[in-house]
Amino acid sequence: MTVKDHLSRRGLLKGAAGTALVAGLGMPAIVRAQSDVIRFGHLTPRTGFLGPLGEYAVMAADLAVEEINAAGGILGRKVEILKEDSVNPQTASTKAERMVERDKVTCIVGEISSASCLTIAQVAQRTKTLFVNTGGNSDALRGKDCKRFMFHVESQNSMYVKSVGRSFMQEGLVKGKKWYSLTADYAFGHDLLSVAKRFMEANGGEFAGDDLVPTDATDFSAYLIKIRSASPDLVVLNLAGAQITNFLKQYAEFGLTFPIGGFGFDTALAWAAGKGNFVGTWPVVWHHLLETPGSKAFTEGFVKKYGKPPENQAWGDYIALKIIAQSMNELKSTESLQLVEHWEKGAKFDVLKTREGYFRDFDHQLMHEMYAVTALPADKVENQWDIFTSSGPVPGPDEPLDAIAATREENACTFPA
């Protein structure tokens, strides 16, 4: 069921008055009703293996809309957000089309599954409606499958790999070393494995083995036996959602001691694994321990509303909505094409980090800092949330923000007409 937020009693009375007036003019009543609000569509998984991350996305979207409306809305109008469970790629496409054609949303925000991102983007491109991807990592979405009306707050797989790859190199876990990887068997995982292999080949490492894992797999014992037999220098997880939590718990139960890490991660999965089970080094786009003023304010607001800190998926949906609202107010327009052109010109935004972010014009990827987090030993963990330490921002302060992103040559994008 569609959830409609922020409809006040006054708004309903205004809508009723508008209905009477417009009906008297012989015009469809919905025209006036729609003029009273600016409507956003929000699609993200609420069920399945990505569901736990989707719930953080929804919480952050609600918080962002509350703050936007409290600050005066957009162009003096309140924002209404229509939220749906995207479920799977086919359902995501159907719901995106309905949001655009029936509900008249000005834009669509969200998603985590790269496969669903693509089907939503196809609708967005066909209808010339802005879509901001907040959770799909696939390089292909920024490359061969890129769309002019799709932008990416979420980092691409190359940014994840290059960010945490620096940590692995510093620890001597790349050159001349063997990795064993487990990869989620869908678009995100396939793309991430390809990027990881490119990184290893460029830096003198190799894979002792790599297995594709069905997204509904919950028992990892057969894979753990293979890993124990292979004796890799590093176990690399290219899994997604709750799979990472399940694997980490079973890895601890098996008593394996090979170093572990991954190229895709969400802090909610570390929290679910818990003290003693969460191990290794991982890349994140953001985390709740950052000390920038913007991050502290976001975390404090989230904790006040929900009683727990936000995780990195929450950051993506929150910051996407704030960027859209800021841009619409600056442009004095809600038109998708005007936002696209504005962002392509290099507009900069506060993304709650030490440097402002911007969208690259040639693939629409947000350029921003990332981090590598490393699990704390169990005896150093003081609460259920602060269970890791963090690197400084990656890239460093003297590097361009695109230093960790795929180059044009690595991931060419040609926008469709």
Q: Which pLDDT belongs to residue 35? A: 64
Neighbours of 11 (CB within 10 A): 15
8 Å CB contact between 290 and 184: no
Q: Kindly state whether residues 144 and 169 are assigned to the same domain.
A: no
For 9, 44, 274, 315, the CA distances from 47, given in Å and listed in that order, are 32, 9, 22, 20
Q: Kindly state whether residues 20 and 148 are assigned to the same domain.
A: yes
Q: Which pLDDT belongs to residue 22? A: 38
Residue 144 CB burial class (10 angstroms; 0-12, 13-18, ≥19): exposed
- Which H or E element spans position 414? none
Instruction: Identify the three-state secondary structure at position 223.
Output: helix
8 Å CB contact between 94 and 282: no
Q: Kindly state whether residues 8 and 139 are assigned to the same domain.
A: yes
In a domain, 413, yes or no: no
- For 116-182, the DSSP string reads HHHHHHHHHHHHT-EEEESS---GGGGTTT--TTEEESSPPHHHHHHHHHHHHHHTT-STT-EEEEE
Place of tokens 């409809």: 7
Residue 132's closest CA among 110, 157, 158? 110
Distance, in Å, from the CA atom of 186 to the CA atom of 201, rounded to the nearest integer, reads 23
Q: 180: domain range?
A: 158-285+370-404
* Length in residues, the chain: 417
Q: Kindly state whether residues 376 and 246 are assigned to the same domain.
A: yes
Q: Which long-range contacts (CB under 8 A, 24 or more apart) does 194-202 make?
A: 194/139, 195/139, 195/157, 195/158, 195/161, 195/263, 195/406, 196/161, 196/236, 196/238, 196/263, 198/410, 199/161, 199/162, 199/165, 200/174
In a domain, 304, yes or no: yes
In a domain, 415, yes or no: no
In a domain, 411, yes or no: no
CATH code for position 275: 3.40.50.2300
Q: Kindly state whether residues 225 and 118 are assigned to the same domain.
A: no
Q: Kindly state whether residues 120 and 248 are assigned to the same domain.
A: no
The pLDDT profile of the chain, 417 residues, written as one tens digit per residue, is 444 444 333 343 334 444 433 333 343 333 334 468 999 999 999 999 899 999 999 999 999 999 999 999 999 999 999 999 999 999 999 999 999 999 999 999 999 999 999 999 999 999 999 999 999 999 999 999 999 999 999 999 999 999 999 999 999 999 999 999 999 998 889 999 999 999 999 999 999 999 999 999 999 999 999 999 999 999 999 998 889 999 999 999 999 999 999 998 899 988 999 888 999 999 999 999 999 999 999 999 999 999 999 999 999 999 999 999 999 999 999 999 999 999 999 999 999 999 999 999 999 999 999 999 999 999 999 999 999 999 999 999 999 999 999 999 999 999 987
Per residue, the 3-state secondary structure of 59-73, as one string, reads: HHHHHHHHHHHHCCC
Q: Kindly state whether residues 228 and 197 are assigned to the same domain.
A: yes
Tally of structural domains, the chain: 2
Q: Kindly state whether residues 126 and 206 are assigned to the same domain.
A: no
pTM, two decimals, is: 0.88
Q: Which pLDDT belongs to residue 187? A: 86
Q: Kindly state whether residues 317 and 186 are assigned to the same domain.
A: no
In a domain, 410, yes or no: no
Q: Which pLDDT belongs to residue 240? A: 85
DSSP 8-state symbol, 217: -
In a domain, 417, yes or no: no
Q: Kindly state whether residues 145 and 183 are assigned to the same domain.
A: no
Q: Kindly state whether residues 386 and 400 are assigned to the same domain.
A: yes
Residue type, 137: N
Distance, in Å, from the CA atom of 180 to the CA atom of 196, rounded to the nearest integer, reads 11
In a domain, 212, yes or no: yes
Q: Which pLDDT belongs to residue 264? A: 85
Q: Which pLDDT belongs to residue 29? A: 38
Neighbours of 99 (CB within 10 A): 25
In a domain, 334, yes or no: yes
Q: Kindly state whether residues 174 and 134 are assigned to the same domain.
A: no
